[in-house]
Structure 1
Amino acid sequence: MLDGLVGDGGLAEGSVWRVTTLVVAWLLLLAVGAYLITPASLLTVVMADLGVTETTAAALVSMPQVTATVIGIPVGLYLDRIDTRAAVPAAAAVLFVGSLGDWFAASERIVPLLIASRLFAGIGMFVLWVVSINTASSTFPPDRRATATSVIISGYPAGYALGQLGAPRLAGVIDWPGVFPVFGGAALLLSLALYAVVGRFSRSRASTAPISVSGFKRVLRNRNVWMVVAVTILGYSLYMVFNSWMPTYITGRFGVSLAESGAFVALFPAVGVLARPTGGWLSDRLLARRRRPVFATSFVGATVLAVAMFYSTTIAALVAMLVLAGVFIQLQIGLMYQSIQEFVEPSAAGTAVSLASVAGWLGSFLAPVLAGELVATTGTYGVLFALAVGLGVTGALTVWRMAESGGSPSPTH
């Protein structure tokens, strides 16, 4: 897969720096993902220590996504007009300040301040996400772009795995509020490294002209763009239903410790390190840049596995199914951001990525909160699987109705 990215130049200087950029951007999103998921890996402790309900605790996981949903489109328009390299350390500094606010608010048990600091950190999180994707798009040629994007964003599920696995253990060494600035500080250091390596080679852009008002209106009127937005919301919602609530479900059903359940659930996002690039590679190389078959396989596979997990009676069977579901769900994550760009003009590519990102954050925010409300209302965690099946079926039907973006010679309007 790496050979397919670097191309015929092999170890030529440009290829070396492209691969270095991929690695550093991957590590940066690793730290960001670990920061974001930290409350989910400590959900039982957070509820007990802060005296909050399941719904409030789950909302803490999603607060950064709320910010991303609100600021996403205007920030995307702004990033289309600047050199995004300088935005990397600035965004990471915002994330780090937010993580310090998390530490203080959680230590003092001030829940409104903790919510506010998580909202503030979401500004940095969103910018880092968009900039990383744009870096891939401007560095690699079109026939490798989906693969490169998928490789970079695979750092995010690895960060989720790091958070699920590492946060409970860090909380055993330091007080749990101190976990936030550990990951926030790592993101700041890695942002400086990315700023340095991106400056070592020139990046190409499909268009240097900023998006016009009429161009933005064409994006908003594009039915295919909104179909990708719907797929993205559903895909991320399905992903977060499992990622945010499975540690608590496993602890309650099988009586294992939170650290043990976190270790099991860490496998779910961790497989995205391979699944996300694989989805991009399959689409680029084996499917002639067609995207719909990967989307459809992702939703159908995850739906079947959600049913199987509901009927699993042993922890070994459940974890095996969960890991396989993680593979299927994450095949499409990465393709979302490439597919939506293929439906718009080159000057609107950054805006399109921001739209897909907003859709992803919206799904990531709504799903854990909705799941928490359903659990609180029904009194059973089994409802999580019913929600997952509903999301998967809806996603598959949406893919059936959407157009194919890959390989199109020009945008579809």
Structure 2
Amino acid sequence: MSSDADPDEPSRSSTVGLVAGVFLLSTAAGAYEIAPASVLPLVRESLGIGATAAGWLVSVMYLTAVVASVPVGIALDRVSVRRAVAAAGVALLIAGAWGWAAAVAGAYWWLFASRMLGGLCYVIVWNAGANLAGQAVEPDVRATAVGLFTASAPVGFTLGQFGSPLLAEPFGWPATLPAFAAIAAVGVGVFLLATRNRRLAVETGQPDRAEFAALFTDRAAWTLCTLSFLGFSLYLFLNSWLPSYLTEGLGVSLAAGGALTAVFPAVGVVSRTGGGVLSDRLFGGARRPVAVLSFVVAAPAIAGFVVFSAVPVVVALIVVSGFAVQLALGLLYTYVAEVVAPAVRTTAVSMLTSVGLFGAFAAPIAGGAVIERAGYLPAFGLAAALGALGAVIAWRAPTSETPTGG
């Protein structure tokens, strides 16, 4: 994607505004996405549903993103990205209002449908934002910009986890849905203002069938998709089951367990941006060393949950594992765009998103099954093994080629 309507180079303020706009949109979508998770007892009571049905109000957004991500990527390679992002922001506002009305009325399936719309909005903003952030800056800071954009996910998660109970107490839990979605209005405004003199489009024209076929059989792309699957699996497994482990396994109070778990996504604000900075500055634009470092550190940190039970040590493990697991998650979006043909970059990012979010969708469910049958420690051990597998795959990952032109 590039600016092709205005012959002049975009101003720094325009670039900052573009990245800030998609960051705010992604933050809004992330907070909206996770909002029901921290108030599930209230959700179950007001709708008269069980734990599984309540859990699906979060999981359905991941499942929608998994199914829609590649078609969305193909569309974004062919349509006006500016209009698509703006439309997704407006649709997220509609999803928030629709969800509030459905929740107040006790209409579970209408609420479920509104969450599906929210999932579609999320994947449009995420795929487009990852590409736009990378294309808006010079190649030597591309990974830094994309890493900064992907930090919007932990910002949104942290906001949703902390903010939902605070909003639910005076206004009722349904108010969390439009409240967090409303942030998208600011994001859309900033994005449109920053891009008003630019037409965001595909860099090299529409990809043909041969280029699509080559992408879906590209070993390098699938290697990075596998790393995305493993990384997001670890991220959501720990996000989902650390609170219960801290409460049931270590005797930490529910409130303290939730607060400690919130540290896990929160450190991603630093590590997702830091992964890009390390790649751009320390490793001269090489992406593979950061991917290897991420899994090499994550695997023993997660294994530490099996070995140590002292709360201070566990808190340290939460910080280290949260930092390590997220170190490469943002970088992979830059990485995959550099190992595929330029015409299919958006589709490649969408494929990475789809495979990664499938891991995010499946890991909490699979982890729950292991915990139910064997307990927490075997589940953490299996997660550590996945981290070690990721280190091996990252070591064999392709070498990216960082462009030297703008």
Measure how far apart 1:103 and its partner are. 2.7
Q: 1:152 & 1:103 partners in 2: Cα distance?
A: 28
Question: For residue 393 of structure 1, what is the aligned residue in structure 2?
Answer: 388
In structure 1, what residue type is equivalent to 2:387?
Answer: G
Q: Structure 1, unaligned stretches of length 5 or more?
A: 1-11
Q: 1:200 & 1:33 partners in 2: Cα distance?
A: 28
Question: Is residue 223 from structure 1 mapped to residue 222 from structure 2 by the alignment?
Answer: no
Measure how far apart 1:47 and its partner are. 4.9
SS at match of 2:286: coil
Q: 1:173 to 1:314 in 2, by over 3 A?
A: farther
Aligned mate of 2:262, from 253, 263, 266: 266
Higher mean displacement: 48-57 or 212-221: 48-57
Question: Is residue 306 from structure 1 mapped to residue 297 from structure 2 by the alignment?
Answer: no
In structure 2, what residue type is equivalent to 1:97?
Answer: I
Measure how far apart 1:111 and its partner are. 3.8
In structure 2, what residue type is equivalent to 1:219?
Answer: L
Q: 1:406 & 1:302 partners in 2: Cα distance?
A: 26
Question: For residue 14 of structure 2, what is the aligned residue in structure 1?
Answer: 17
Question: For residue 182 of structure 1, what is the aligned residue in structure 2?
Answer: 179
Measure how far apart 1:149 and its partner are. 0.7
Aligned mate of 1:84, from 74, 77, 81: 81
Q: Structure 2, unaligned stretches of length 5 or more?
A: 1-8
Q: 1:363 & 1:41 partners in 2: Cα distance?
A: 21
Question: For residue 5 of structure 2, what is the aligned residue in structure 1?
Answer: none
Q: 1:227 to 1:18 in 2, by over 3 A?
A: same
Measure how far apart 1:228 and its partner are. 0.8
Q: 2:31 & 2:65 partners in 1: Cα distance?
A: 17
Aligned mate of 2:345, from 319, 331, 349: 349
Query: RMSD between aligned alpha carbons?
Result: 2.4
Measure how far apart 1:213 and its partner are. 0.9
Q: 1:186 to 1:408 in 2, by over 3 A?
A: closer
In structure 1, what residue type is equivalent to 2:21?
Answer: V
SS at match of 1:42: helix
Cα pair 1:29 1:129 within 8 Å, conserved:
yes
1:94-133 aligned at under 5 Å gives the runs 94-133=91-130
Q: 1:184 to 1:395 in 2, by over 3 A?
A: same
1:13-412 aligned at under 5 Å gives the runs 14-47=11-44, 50=47, 54-200=51-197, 207-378=203-374, 380-407=375-402
Q: 1:108 to 1:372 in 2, by over 3 A?
A: farther
Q: 2:88 & 2:199 partners in 1: Cα distance?
A: 22
Measure how far apart 1:394 and its partner are. 2.2
Cα pair 1:17 1:201 within 8 Å, conserved:
no
Cα pair 1:219 1:344 within 8 Å, conserved:
yes
In structure 2, what residue type is equivalent to 1:212?
Answer: D
Measure how far apart 1:368 and its partner are. 1.7
Q: 1:363 & 1:186 partners in 2: Cα distance?
A: 27
Q: 2:52 & 2:398 partners in 1: Cα distance?
A: 37
Q: 2:251 & 2:119 partners in 1: Cα distance?
A: 34
Cα pair 1:34 1:163 within 8 Å, conserved:
yes
Measure how far apart 1:316 and its partner are. 3.1
Cα pair 2:18 2:190 within 8 Å, conserved:
no
Identity of aligned residues (%): 36
Q: 1:323 & 1:23 partners in 2: Cα distance?
A: 26
Measure how far apart 1:110 and its partner are. 4.2
Q: What TM-score comes out, normalization by structure 2 length?
A: 0.89
Q: 1:334 & 1:104 partners in 2: Cα distance?
A: 35
Q: 1:20 & 1:149 partners in 2: Cα distance?
A: 14
Measure how far apart 1:202 and its partner are. 6.5
Cα pair 2:70 2:351 within 8 Å, conserved:
yes
Measure how far apart 1:54 and its partner are. 4.8
Cα pair 1:264 1:319 within 8 Å, conserved:
yes
Q: 1:393 to 1:262 in 2, by over 3 A?
A: same
Measure how far apart 1:183 and its partner are. 0.6
Cα pair 1:30 1:156 within 8 Å, conserved:
yes
Cα pair 2:104 2:174 within 8 Å, conserved:
yes
How many residues are treated as equivalent by the alignment?
396
Q: What TM-score comes out, normalization by structure 1 length?
A: 0.88
Cα pair 1:341 1:353 within 8 Å, conserved:
yes
In structure 1, what residue type is equivalent to 2:272?
Answer: R
